[in-house]
Amino acid sequence: MPTPVRTAIAGLAGLAMASAVMAGCGSGGAGGGASGQPATGNLQITYIAEPGTTPRQADLICPGDGPDAMAACEQVESLSGAFDPVPGDQACSQQYGGPEQIRVYGEWAGRNVNTTLTRTNGCEIDRYASLAPVLLPLVGGPGGG
């Protein structure tokens, strides 16, 4: 029969593990938008629904003209950490979210961006889900999620 101490230790260990996994899968830091400066960048976005389908493409140039472009620039700025790859030693849940890919290439906040967002495991699904609602409407992709 488990003792209260054993139960508490097991619970804390599980909580610590879950926190470590969640922290590693997050998209993290914001870029220049936090300084009050407008987001700057030029990104080419390509959405591929599944292998063999025609890709959809769009460019996002920031600062943008018009309220839609400005809003997209601000949203991407707040999520720019999602452009960073998942560290190779990161523990990620082994789940498959689908064949969709979003390729992002260009420059953002003075740094080069060349990444592919996928749904091949839990960490990659998190990256995809953080940027898809902003990027997919730009290319005429599905609802963004």
Q: What's the rounded Cα separation, in Å, for the pair 145 and 97?
A: 11
What's the rounded Cα separation, in Å, for the pair 121 and 81?
18
Domain count, the chain: 1
What percent of the chain has a predicted confidence (pLDDT) above 70? 72
Q: Are 128 and 97 in contact (CB under 8 A)?
A: yes
**Does residue 109 register a pLDDT over 70?**
yes
Domain annotation covers residue 144: no
Residue 145 lies in a domain: no
In a domain, 109, yes or no: yes
> In this structure, how many other beta carbons lie within 10 angstroms of the beta carbon of residue 128?
23
CATH code at position 126: 3.30.350
Look at residue 113 and tell me whether its pLDDT is greater than 50.
yes
Q: Quote the pLDDT of residue 142.
A: 84
Residues of the chain with pLDDT > 90, as a percent, come to 52
Residue 95 lies in a domain: yes
Average pLDDT of span 95-116? 95
Has residue 36 got a pLDDT over 50? yes
> What is the three-class DSSP state of 34?
helix
What would the pLDDT profile of 86-104 be if each residue is shown by its tens digit?
A: 998 999 999 999 999 999 9
- Predicted confidence (pLDDT) at residue 26 exceeds the cutoff of 80: no
Distance CA 71, CA 60 (A): 11
User: What average pLDDT is seen over the chain?
Assistant: 79
Asked if the structure places residue 27 within a domain, the reply is yes
E-assigned strand segments in 1-145: 41-48, 56-62, 101-108, 111-117
For 113, counting Cβ atoms within 10 Å of its Cβ (0-12 exposed, 13-18 middle, 19+ buried), the class is middle
Task: State the pLDDT at residue 2.
Answer: 52
Supply the range of the domain harboring residue 49.
Answer: 4-139
